[in-house]
Amino acid sequence: MTPAPAPEVLSAPLAVEFPFTRSLGPVQSAFLTGLRERTVLGVRTADGRVLLPPVEYDPVTAEEIRDLVEVGTAGTVTTWAWNPAPRRGQPLTTPFAWALVRLDGADTALLHALDAPGPDAVRTGMRVRVRWAGERTGAITDIACFEPYESEPDPRGAPHDGEFADPVRGIVAPARLDYVYSPGRAQSRYIAALAGRRTMGERCPSCRKVYVPPRGACPTCGVATEEQVEVGPRGTVTTFCIVNIKAKNLDIEVPYVYAHIALDGADLALHGRIGGIPYDQVRMGLRVEPVWTEGGRYPDHYRPTGEPDADYDTYKELL
Amino acid sequence: MNPRRVAVVAFAQTRHRRRSAELSEVEMLMPVLHEVLAAVGLRTGEIDFTCSGSADYLAGRAFSFTMALDGVGAWPPISESHVETDGAWALYEAWVKLLTGEADTALVYSYGKSSPGQLRDVLTRQLDPYYLAPLWPDSVSLAALQAQALIDEGATDERALAGVAARSRCAAEHNPHAQLAGSAAPDALLDDPYLVRPLRRHDCPPIGDGAAAVVLAAEDTARRLCPRPAWIRGIDHRIEPHGLGVRDLTRSPSTRLAARHAGLFDDDAPPVDTAELHAPFTSQEVILRRELRLDDDVRVNPSGGALAANPMMAAGLIRLGEAAARIHRGESHRAVAHATSGPCLQHNLVAVLEGEA
């Protein structure tokens, strides 16, 4: 057997990014539209409290709640934390305090940033007010932050019908997370071998199956696959489909064939595109070989070898 | 009808580390699965039910739990389930499954690799998507708001919090799995700068990678597999309203309620001698002690707790495993274990474990 070499730890940047599009309930819609219009709306619960930020359902009774109340734009800090190193996406780029602020007329507190010169200028119980963003779209970020503001608390809230022209019905919340991805031992070895145009599988020490690509464990036996086995380069199409829809950012003419290919010596089929043959002539049992492009780190596609088709019995367990 | 009795009969965990780039998730997990199964002499195919806990956001890898299943040996298909949260909740699901009588044994595992991402940013994605997530409030900042509320209330101060950190990390010197062990004296810790005031680095859990697994068994099967099973007297989990500003951050009524339903306060129950609390931040231990009514006789976090190792999605399960392991070793007669999920002790699970007299 070939002993498994200690793989170099591969890593690559991985960004996961989604623009989440979310619809709003009637209370959230009124609240976020209100922020756009510099109006802060809470909602009254069955027990008479005013929740801010407002929710669609009563946290105690779970009933729908719809009685909106306009609260003040000044309020009181109920707790705070000094953030000396703002992170990406946070409301301010200079050091600030996170604060929970109970706005006048509300019974609960809203989380936001508080722009203050330093931690010594912040304390629980201090008075603050909303600083509005210059450009407002109907989002929690329409509040740019809070700022210190000496004032007397005014606990009166006023009923509000929540009606605004052109109400906001949804938000688009972009989210991006950055990772440094490492594939682990088995896949690092596989990728490293591919760079040399060799396809290495790994054999299960228990059931002797050869997995390509290897994932580090035999899913039947639940043990590590360590023994390296070179497979291919030729293989057999076990099954395939004809792709008729052009994928975004993929420069391949449709229709084309995407196939499961059992490389010679492998006990698991991998995926690949079939080229060099009209799409409607690809068939189960077709013998294929990889086609590498200059500098490519994996086969660009597979093409017919010209050998006779494989007998069904030779690959029926690999379907 | 008396419900079936179910016990934790084995526990294993990794040596938790800051990073494990050379291992995929299944490669990190597999040795732990082998260790826990070897402890009870079972093979995967002999386990009736398997339940896991993990979160794809940590390493940014979609459906990573299906890859992790390779390490179990899930083919031909096994009876299996997954929760997208801490493995303590996977244990809860498995416990319920055993109570129904549909299974006699269960394998529960969980893992988390936080090293590929920026954990403080990743965790913002679990928050309310309308009012909180757009502000990217990071996990340390949210815990700091809770700590400040507790200090304002007079329930603790920064010196006392440093004491929690020092006690936990000194206890971890006896825990070979700990990521952080040993500590300067509390007064010296206070010389460090704030990370997010009022929290300093020592008030926060280490970020790292790790995995854990337990085996559950019912009745006679448990007795056969383990000389001294850790019987689960009760488990319950409860959750707070999701609005941080709706909650009194100095209290954890969900923990109190879960503890009551788990039997911690039962009139006929002897007191616990050990508590394994999932308090990633020092200030959260203060809250949990109060809600669980732990007096000074109770040994809290002899493992070092989450301040010594906090592999996300595993650290709660590890609390249950550590408490059970002390019962297995005869070092505890009755223990309470707690797991948490979400910001500022949002969701809390409490289990009461007992050894046979």
Q: How far, in Å, CA of A53 to CA of A146, rounded?
A: 15
Task: Give ∠ CA A138-A141-A147 in degrees, rounded to 5.
Answer: 125
Q: Please, which residues bridge with residue B20 across strands?
A: none
Q: What is the mean pLDDT of residues B246-271?
A: 96
With a CB cutoff of 8 Å and minimum separation 6, the contacts of A101 are A75, A76, A77, A78, A109, A110, A111, A112, A114, A128, A146
- Enclosing H/E stretch for B290: helix B282-291
What is the count of residue pairs from A and B with beta carbons less than 8 Å apart?
190
Alpha carbon A283 to chain centroid, angstroms: 37
pLDDT class of B90 with cuts at 50, 70, 90: very high
- Enclosing H/E stretch for B64: helix B64-68
With a CB cutoff of 8 Å and minimum separation 6, the contacts of A305 are A234, A287, A288, A289
β pairing state of B334-341 and B347-354:
antiparallel
b/e sequence A120-138, b meaning 16+ C-beta within 10 Å? eebebebbbbbbebeebeb
Alpha carbon B156 to chain centroid, angstroms: 24
The beta-carbon neighbor of A219 closest among B21, B69, B148 is B69
Q: What is the mean pLDDT of residues A295-301?
A: 89
B40, part of any domain: yes
Cβ <8 Å between B60 and A181: yes
For chain B positions 78-107, those within 8 Å of chain A (CB to CB) are none
Q: How far, in Å, CA of A114 to CA of A91, rounded?
A: 9
For chain A positions 281-300, those within 8 Å of chain B (CB to CB) are none
Cβ <8 Å between B129 and A82: no
Amino acid occupying residue A310: A
Give per-residue pLDDT as tens, B99-125.
Answer: 999 999 999 999 999 999 999 999 999
Q: What is the mean pLDDT of residues B296-308?
A: 97
- What is the reported pLDDT for A6? 63
Cβ <8 Å between B72 and A222: yes
Where in A84-215 does DSSP place strands (E)?
96-103, 110-114, 127-132, 143-148, 158-160, 170-181, 199-203, 210-211
Contacts of A100 in chain B (CB under 8 A): 145, 244-245
For chain B positions 254-313, those within 8 Å of chain A (CB to CB) are none
Cβ <8 Å between A220 and B133: no
pLDDT class of B357 with cuts at 50, 70, 90: low
Give per-residue pLDDT as tens, B59-87.
Answer: 998 888 988 999 998 888 999 999 999 99
CB A200 within 8 A of CB A228: yes
Give per-residue pLDDT as tens, B209-230.
Answer: 999 999 999 999 999 999 999 9
Question: Which of A23, A47, A179 would best serve as a mutation to test chain B binding (most B beta carbons within 10 A)?
Answer: A179
Comparing alpha-carbon positions, the chain A residue that sits nearest to B75 is A220
Contacts of B251 in chain A (CB under 8 A): none
CB A48 within 8 A of CB A69: no
Q: At what angle do helices B282-291 and B139-153 cross, to 10 degrees?
A: 60
Comparing alpha-carbon positions, the chain B residue that sits nearest to A82 is B197
- What is the reported pLDDT for A253? 87
3-state secondary structure (DSSP) of residue A57: strand
A177 touches chain B (CB under 8 A): yes
Kindly tell me if the per-residue pLDDT of A2 is higher than 60.
no
A319 touches chain B (CB under 8 A): no
Closest CA to A72 of A97, A101, A32, A49: A101
- Token pair belonging to B336: 């309470």
Q: What is the mean pLDDT of residues A244-269?
A: 91
Q: How far, in Å, CA of A228 to CA of A225, rounded?
A: 8
Cβ <8 Å between A216 and B70: yes
Comparing alpha-carbon positions, the chain A residue that sits nearest to B68 is A217
The beta-carbon neighbor of A82 closest among B67, B130, B194 is B194
B74 touches chain A (CB under 8 A): yes
| Chain B nearest C-alpha distance from A188 (Å) | 9
Question: Which of A23, A182, A188, A267 would best serve as a mutation to test chain B binding (most B beta carbons within 10 A)?
Answer: A182
Closest CA to B318 of B47, B112, B99: B112
Closest CA to B117 of A15, A178, A13: A178
- What domain count does chain B have? 1
Q: CA torsion A142→A129→A93→B242, rounded to 10°?
A: -70
Q: Please, which residues bridge with residue A256 across strands?
A: A243
B144 touches chain A (CB under 8 A): yes
For chain A positions 231-260, those within 8 Å of chain B (CB to CB) are none
Closest CA to B230 of B128, B342, B119, B320: B320
Closest CA to B233 of B99, B92, B105, B353: B353
Q: pTM score, two decimals?
A: 0.95
B144, part of any domain: no
Closest CA to A190 of A114, A266, A126: A266
Comparing alpha-carbon positions, the chain A residue that sits nearest to B66 is A219
pLDDT class of B257 with cuts at 50, 70, 90: very high
Instruction: Give A254 or B336, the one with higher predicted confidence.
Output: B336
B38 touches chain A (CB under 8 A): no
* Whole-number CA gyration radius for chain A: 31
B13, part of any domain: yes
Alpha carbon A41 to chain centroid, angstroms: 31
Question: Which of B121, B153, B192 would best serve as a mutation to test chain A binding (most A beta carbons within 10 A)?
Answer: B121
Q: How far is the CA of A292 from the CAs of A275, B103, B339, in angstroms?
A: 12, 51, 51
Q: How far, in Å, CA of A171 to CA of A189, rounded?
A: 44
3-state secondary structure (DSSP) of residue A170: strand
Residue B75 domain boundaries? 6-118+207-225
B248, part of any domain: no
Contacts of A178 in chain B (CB under 8 A): 117-118
B230, part of any domain: no
pLDDT class of A1 with cuts at 50, 70, 90: very low
CB A181 within 8 A of CB B60: yes
Comparing alpha-carbon positions, the chain A residue that sits nearest to B35 is A223
Kindly tell me if the per-residue pLDDT of A246 is higher than 90.
no
- What is the reported pLDDT for B62? 87
pLDDT class of B254 with cuts at 50, 70, 90: very high
- Token pair belonging to B48: 């009736």
B146, part of any domain: no
- CATH code of the domain covering residue B70: 3.40.47.10
What are B64-68's contacts with CB under 8 Å, separation 24+?
B64/B25, B67/A215, B67/B24, B67/B25, B67/B26, B68/B25, B68/B26, B68/B29, B68/B109, B68/B111
Q: How would you write B322-357 as a 3-class SS string? A: HHHHHHHCCCCCEEEEEEEECCCCCEEEEEEEECCC
* Whole-number CA gyration radius for chain B: 19
> Helix H segments across chain A?
26-36, 185-195, 312-315
The beta-carbon neighbor of B26 closest among A59, A215, A221 is A215
Kindly tell me if the per-residue pLDDT of A59 is higher than 90.
no
B36 touches chain A (CB under 8 A): no
Q: CA torsion B56→B60→B61→B62, rounded to 10°?
A: 60
Peptide bond into B176 cis (omega under 30): no
For chain A positions 2-21, those within 8 Å of chain B (CB to CB) are 7, 9, 11, 14, 16, 20
What is the number of alpha carbons within 13 Å of residue B301 lying toward its C-beta?
33
Q: What are phi and psi of A53, to 5 degrees?
A: -65, 150
Give per-residue pLDDT as tens, A102-150.
Answer: 999 999 999 999 999 999 999 999 999 999 999 999 999 999 999 999 9
CB A63 within 8 A of CB A108: no
Kindly tell me if the per-residue pLDDT of A249 is higher than 80.
no
Contacts of B145 in chain A (CB under 8 A): 79-81, 98-100, 111
For chain A positions 54-93, those within 8 Å of chain B (CB to CB) are 55, 59, 78-84, 87-91
The beta-carbon neighbor of A184 closest among B27, B141, B245 is B27
